Structure 1
């Protein structure tokens, strides 16, 4: 197998085409993990993942990561990993946030009503 320019994923172009308030889609799979792009202009719901950590890498805008009792603010180029079983939610600050997430392909998401 060989690689070509068709295998290049342009994050800016992919993000520019999103017009929904929230979009989350797979970009690539690596072994048993998936690399996703999340584009958000509104809050995501509180949840946790019982079987996978979740890594966030901010590409555009500011991402707020809420956990019980604290809010962390991530800027473009910053990354954080949320361990499995930690309740959290993500939300954009100031309009729009574009993020790369890396997680187990078979990750389970459990919604928490608050």
Structure 2
């Protein structure tokens, strides 16, 4: 058993996107993400992706909707659904839960 203090990871740094595994759960991982810039359109053909808002607002855009994930809220993007993420303001922080070996397919934002 390993205890992780993920609060220490909540400090923004020079990177525009930090996505780090903080825990393993069976065949899934829990990641912490810190965003200061958009992440490109993509989808995961083999895993749902659950987002949990921690700080700031994460904008999650799919072909059909725009979701504002605020602190204390959660949303699951089903496998196969193309999406992109970005902070609404200067930065955002969230947790994600997903299959540890998920595949990520990047798509052109005009063909999502």
**TM above 0.5:** yes
Partner of 2:99: 104
**Are 1:34 and 2:35 counterparts?**
no
Corresponding position of 2:43: 48
TM-score normalised according to structure 2 size: 0.91
Scaled by the length of structure 1, what TM-score is found? 0.89
Structural mapping, 1:48-87, within 5 Å:
48-87=43-82
- Of 100-109 and 8-17, deviating more is 8-17
Residues 13 and 107 (structure 1 numbering): CA distance in 2 closer, same or farther, change over 3 Å? same
SS in structure 2 at match of 1:13? helix
CA distance in 2, matches of 1:18, 1:80: 26
**Higher Cα Rg: structure 1 or 2?**
1
- Structure 2 contact 56–70 (Cα < 8 Å) conserved: yes
Q: Tell me how far 1:65 sits from its aligned partner.
A: 0.6
Q: CA deviation at 1:17?
A: 5.9
* Paired residue secondary structure (1:12): helix
Residue 88 (structure 2) aligns with: 93
Q: Deviation above 6 Å: which 4+ runs of structure 1? A: none
Cα drift, residue 20 of structure 1: 1.2
Give the deviation of 1:69 after TM superposition: 3.1
Contact 2:53 2:73 in 1 (8 A): yes
